[in-house]
Amino acid sequence: MIDKRSPYQEGSLWYYAPNKGAPITFAILFTISGIVHGYQCFKYKSWKVTGLLPWSALLFTAGFVMRTIGAFGQWDNLSIFIASTVFLLAGPPVYEGANFFTLGRILYYIPYHSPIHPGRVFTTFVAMGVIIEAITANGASLVANTSNPESTQNTGKALLKAALILQIALMVGFVALATKFYYNCHRGGVLNAKVKRALHVLYCSCTLIIIRTIYRTVEYFTAASLNTSNIDDISPILKEEWFFWVFETAIMFSNTVLLNVFHPMRWLPRSNKIYLATDGVTEVEGPGYEDPRPFLLTFFDPFDIVGMITKKGKKEKFWEVGHQSSPPATTV
């Protein structure tokens, strides 16, 4: 147990003695946000689409609970430090996963302008996200465990850097896909207010997550070149706590509140069989957008490049069939 607190805390695994009040506050705030997300999942019947949101908030809550324990004199406790680090690093990719599901539902709503099969958003982006999450968790645990030999910690740093760069690349690709869809809908004259709002929320959420990921990338690239022989030479991004509270905590809390206040399922149908007719006004219940290709082929070729080259595998454009024969329609 260490009693004295100072900007540089000897023996602290954080370098400094962590702030006591802030982690308590944000543990409570993320808990509230997670509860609201859970309520919204019930309200909008959207567990399949936004069910990751309560869990991502829970990860942040757990991380801040661990950080709170560390702040009260346990900043030299390795287990607490590792748990806090892993939970806080694991939260943002889960928020990313929720965005992937949401975009998939938006693409199901206007399938004829989707650059990719809507269901492939899950298998492609979420699968990549799971891989990145695993790399992040393993890297964080190796780095946080200061009892590991230097070579093992360097491996952990390399894993974290790779994971963070991959997160940025994945988000850029995701935003590019959403932007292409936005352009297609605008050009086709079906970009109504509901779709715009849902996409704008996604853009804002992705921007916040990218800002946070850039911060973490800079932090870990800085840590990789760290020379602990002279603490005066340590970068401020590592030894000043406010960087963490601004670029990690405030950014990610803004993201979770954004998704609470502007929950994307407010504007999207509950079923992925409901689509917007090509008139841009009528909502119709169709047969759903199926992909008859084998699963592995859809995973490795989500854009059906093989089909475009061979001119095979064309799907029935059910939205071009008269919707008079479909179940009752509604207008937007």
- Token pair, residue 148, equals 């590991």
The three-class DSSP label of residue 154 is helix
| Mean pLDDT to the nearest integer, 97-114 | 91
Q: How confident is the model at residue 69 (pLDDT cuts 50, 70, 90)?
A: very high
Supply the CATH classification number for the domain 21-276. 1.20.1070
Q: Are 220 and 195 in contact (CB under 8 A)?
A: no
Which of 1-15, 106-120, 266-280 comes out lowest in average pLDDT?
Answer: 1-15
Please say if the pLDDT value at position 60 is more than 70: yes
**198: confidence class by pLDDT, cuts 50, 70, 90:** very high
pLDDT tens-digit series, residues 267-283: 999 888 888 888 888 88
For 119, the token pair is 């269901």
Distance CA 85, CA 79 (A): 10
pLDDT tens track for 135-166: 877 887 787 676 778 788 788 888 888 887 88
DSSP 174-206: HHHHHHHHHHHHHHHT---HHHHHHHHHHHHHH
Residue 283 is classified by DSSP as E
Greatest CA separation for the chain: 76
Average pLDDT, the chain: 82
Instruction: Give me the pLDDT at residue 309, please.
Output: 55
Mean pLDDT of 217-242: 72
Q: Where are the domains of the chain?
A: 21-276
Alpha-carbon distance of 100 to 201, in angstroms, equals: 13
For residue 293, give both structure tokens: 């290709």
For position 103, what pLDDT does the model report?
93
Q: Is the pLDDT of residue 8 over 80?
A: no
Q: What is the mean pLDDT of residues 112-134?
A: 81
The predicted model gives 168-173 an average pLDDT of 88
Give the residue-averaged pLDDT of 24-39: 97
Residues 302-314 pLDDT 10s: 655 555 555 554 4
Q: Which region among 256-260, 268-272, 320-324 has the lowest average model confidence (pLDDT)?
A: 320-324
